[in-house]
Amino acid sequence: MSDNNEAAIIVETNDNPTHAIIWLHGLGADGRDFVPIVPTFEFSPTFAIRFIFPHAPVQAITLNNGLRMRAWYDILGLDRNSNQDTDGIRKSELLVHHLIAKQISEGIPSERIFIAGFSQGGALALHTGLRYPQKLAGIIALSTYLPLADLVEMEKTAINETIPIFLAHGTSDTVIDIDFAKLSKDRLEKLNYAIDWHIYAMAHSVCSEEIRDLSNWITQIADPR
């Protein structure tokens, strides 16, 4: 494991990784938050994948009375009708572009790169992956929603219209209501995206069954045997 001057934490499951997962943390956390899940993935011993856990910038969050914390964009409200920080979302989208470009420069092509995220990070993963101008391996969006949903049809890129998408949510999530997540799933399906939808008996978190399902999903795409 390496910490790239606090820009991101890098964890590789084997030498010479052939694939990469850029994993975006949730509001108020940092890149370290999901590092412990890497050993819990059920990959084949020879499958080499690089996990990149970047840290969001620190900024004031309106929903939290202006408290400064790591965040990919400002949160104005959790209601599905709340205004959204469009400029902040697009600014962080460019940060993800830079992370993808770095992996490409290190020999992992875009079609072998997944964008993943939890909660706010999952929202950014969806936003970025649907709009990215080069083919990606897939999008992993956990306990989250589709931001700027009304703009997706206009802004989505044709090259990623068939991108595999793993969506998962907890039945007892009190941070992002599961009905909001289902609404996001339905909107994506209406745009003909192939959604692998999973529901778990959990709150706003990640569970072992979810990681097992995600392991199988990633393996089917990246390491079919």
The residues carrying an active-site annotation are 119, 173, 204
Rg, C-alpha atoms of the chain: 16
DSSP 113-128: EEEEEETHHHHHHHHH
- Closest to 73 in 3D by CA, of 20, 10, 144: 144
Which H/E stretch holds residue 142? strand 138-142
- Closest to 8 in 3D by CA, of 56, 55, 50: 55
Which H/E stretch holds residue 3? strand 2-3
Sign of torsion over alpha carbons 197, 39, 107, 97: positive
Residues near 196 by beta carbon (within 8 Å), at least 6 away in sequence: 164, 165, 166, 167, 217
